[in-house]
Each structure stands twice: as C-alpha cells, then as structure tokens.
C-alpha cells in the first residue's frame, strides 16, 4: 500500500516534470516561441489586425500576401511629410510603369479618429491609383503599427488641435510576406525604385523601363 503510493507520487512527479519540460520547450523552441525581436517588422504572415480599406472592404495582413507590398503609415491631416511621401510613392509607381500593378501599395492611417473610410477615399484619390488607404479601430491600428515595429504618438498643438508623430519609412515585403527593406523618408528616387524592384524580384524587373 505504502510502496504503491510512493509509486503514485513518483509517477505524478515524473508527469509534472515532463509537463514542465514540455511547456519549457513549447515556449522556448517550440511553436509557442516568441518571434525573435530584432526591431525588424514581422513577416506579414505573423501579423494580425483587421482594418477596412478606402472602399469599405475588410482587409488585413493576409490581404497583402501573394504579391509584393509597399506599406507606410501617415494621416491625412499631415500637411508636410504625408503628402510628400504619397507624392514620392506616386513618382516611384510612375517609374515602374505597368509593373506597378503587381504591387500592393497601402497607406495605413495612424489617426483613425479623423481618418474614416470616406476621408481616406478622398485623400488617396489625389495620388497614384494603386495606393490603397486603410483605417479601422484605434486598437487594430495599434496592432498593425506594432507588427511593423513602427511607432505613433498623438501630440497636441498650439491651435488646440493635434498632430501625429509617426514612423515615416516605407516598408517593403516580398510576395511571401517577408520583410525586405525600408525606403526611408526622402530617399532619392534612384535608390527607391531599385529597392522596389528588388522586393518585386529580379525576374519581374526584366523588360521594364
């Protein structure tokens, strides 16, 4: 009776040990392991957020997998950086010519309070037609920003309004959703367009102007 209970305790202890080891493995090396955070954006396949595009369609990171993507953050009440970025991107897309059609180009607002679907639709309408505008609940925007390892911050202004500080880099992903590189704000077109071609891969770059 006594030896049997010792056996029972032993089995239970082994079970606990085994479970602990399993949990440890799961969290450190297994499927539960955190994605190594080196400050680089996650692959699109590892991101999770639900937004709405400027035509009212539900979109998320999955929407972008299958074609190379160019994604950037901004807000439509931004008088300087954002229209400049959108104008730069429109210029790069013009330089790509017909190849631009193979790219997902997405402008995600960091100011969903003012940038609703209609505001995004009107705004992106002034730039290259390939550019899509995404907005959604603040919490979902925050998830997206986190996935890209970007930042944003609401800052009050003298006029009683507010402006947004935000990451102004343009993020490039390949067709599998893997992060390729960023194009920094104000990077000259002669660097930007080759980076875009790299994200779109060598093969597609042939035969283009």
Partner 1 sequence: MKYTIHATCSVLMLPFMLATSAMAGSADVVVENAWARASIGTSRPGAAYMEVHNAGDEPVTLTGLRTDLAMMPEVHRTATDEQGVSSMSPAGQIVIAPGETVAFEPGGLHAMLMQLQRPMEEGETFPLTLTFSDGGETTVEVPILGIAARGPED
Binding-site members for Cu cation are 78, 82, 166
Per CB under 8 A, 174 contacts partner 1? no
Pair of tokens at residue 144: 């997206």
Distance CA 104, CA 82 (A): 18
Pair of tokens at residue 169: 């880099």
Task: Give Cα separations from 43 to 30, 168, 178 (angstroms).
Answer: 18, 19, 5
Considering only 27, 129, 139, 151, the residue that binds partner 1 (CB under 8 A) is 151
Closest approach of Cβ 165 to partner 1, in Å? 4
Closest CA to 169 of 186, 191, 156: 186
Task: Please give the residues from 90 up to 149 whose contact with partner 1 meets the rule CB under 8 A.
Answer: 90-91, 122-123, 126-127
Pair of tokens at residue 125: 């309408």
Pick the closer one to partner 1 by CB: 51 or 86: 86
* Cross-strand pairs, 132: 106
Considering only 22, 87, 118, 137, the residue that binds partner 1 (CB under 8 A) is 87
Closest approach of Cβ 89 to partner 1, in Å? 10
3-state secondary structure of 51: strand
The string over 126-162, giving b where at least 16 C-beta atoms fall within 10 Å of a residue's C-beta and e elsewhere, is: ebbebbbbbbbeeebbebbbebbebebeeeeeeeeee
- Site size toward partner 1 (CB under 8 A) is 33
How long a stretch of residues is the chain? Answer: 209
Pick the closer one to partner 1 by CB: 14 or 87: 87
Closest approach of Cβ 72 to partner 1, in Å? 10
Stretch that binds partner 1, among 41-49, 81-89, 138-146, 191-199 (CB under 8 A): 81-89
User: What residue ranges bind partner 1 (CB under 8 A)?
Assistant: 76-81, 83-84, 86-88, 90-91, 122-123, 126-127, 151, 155, 157-159, 161, 163, 165-169, 182, 184-186
């Amino acid at each position: 009776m006594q030896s049997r209970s010792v056996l029972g305790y032993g089995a239970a202890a082994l079970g606990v040990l085994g479970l602990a080891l399993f949990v440890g493995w799961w969290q450190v090396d297994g499927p539960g392991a955190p994605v190594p955070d080196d400050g680089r954006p996650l692959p699109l396949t590892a991101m999770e957020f639900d937004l709405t595009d400027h035509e009212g369609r539900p979109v998320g990171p999955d929407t972008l997998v299958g074609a190379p993507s160019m994604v950037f953050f901004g807000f439509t009440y931004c008088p300087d950086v954002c229209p400049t970025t959108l104008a730069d991107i429109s210029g790069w897309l013009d330089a790509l010519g017909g190849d631009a059609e193979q790219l997902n180009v997405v402008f995600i607002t960091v100011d969903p309070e003012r940038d609703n679907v209609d505001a995004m639709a009107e705004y992106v309408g002034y730039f290259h037609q390939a550019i899509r505008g995404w907005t959604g609940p603040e919490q979902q925007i925050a998830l997206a920003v986190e996935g890209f390892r970007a930042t944003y911050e609401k800052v009050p202004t003298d006029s009683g309004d507010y402006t947004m500080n935000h990451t102004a880099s343009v993020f490039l992903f390949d067709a599998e959703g893997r992060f390729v590189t960023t194009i920094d704000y104000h990077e000259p077109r002669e660097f930007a367009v080759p980076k875009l071609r790299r994200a779109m891969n060598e093969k597609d770059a042939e035969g283009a102007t």
